Amino acid sequence: QLVSALHRLTRHVVYRGLVRAEDILALFPENFHQNLKNLLTKIILENISAWRNEAQASQISLPRLVDMDWRVDIKTSSDSISRMAVPTCLLQLKVQEDVALCGSSPVVSALTVELSKETLDTMLEGLGRIRDQLSAVANK
């Protein structure tokens, strides 16, 4: 019962986004033991940002990017062409499926994609637009 009550208290604090000692102290009933109240409030305040980050990280979401590796190769020959010098880019994205669904053993899938110079430029253009939008939103 004690653990359950503490759990509910901390979840409530994170949910409401309470950050000031006064707000947390106000949650306790009138005749609550003074020192215990202060101690609990202090502990909660210390952990609040870690718990909040935890809540953000484990919320429902679409698959998340966890890692990205790349490599630039030059294709020198193939069964249809004996000599060439075509630069090409290999990109591997590691994506973790929905954290909430996987629980403690998350499933990570790898997506390997080849990009030529043209397609890479297209990607960059798209990403540049995201970056511009981000700055526009940040400045508001």
Partner 1 sequence: AANKINLIPQDFFAELCEQIIQHLNHKIPGVNTAELCQRIQTSGIELNVGDLSKIANIVSFLFSTAARNHLSTEELITTLSDAVSTLPKHAVQVIRHVWNEQGKSISESEDARNTATVGQFVDLKWKLGVAMSSDACRSLKYPYVMVALTVADPSGQITEKSFEMTIPQFKNLFRQFKEMAAVLETV
Q: How far is the CB of 135 from partner 1 (least distance, A)?
A: 11
Contact residues for 102 (Cβ-Cβ < 8 A; gap 6+): 96
Nearer to partner 1, 38 or 61 (CB): 61
For the record, the structure tokens of 61 come out as 């979401």
By CB under 8 A, name the binding residues for partner 1: 11, 14-17, 52, 55-56, 58-65, 68, 70, 72, 74-75, 78, 80-81, 84, 86-91, 93, 95, 111-115, 117, 119-124, 126-131, 133-134, 137
Q: Which is nearer to partner 1, 37 or 52 (CB)?
A: 52
Q: By C-alpha distance, which of 118, 32, 106 is closest to 66?
A: 106
Report how far Cα 32 is from the mean position of its chain's Cα atoms. 38
Minimal CA–CA distance to 114: which of 86, 85, 91?
Answer: 91
Determine the Cα–Cα distance for residues 41 and 21; give it in Å rounded to an integer. 7
Closest distance of CB 114 from partner 1, Å: 5
Provide the minimum distance between the beta carbon of 32 and partner 1 in the complex, in angstroms, as a whole number: 24
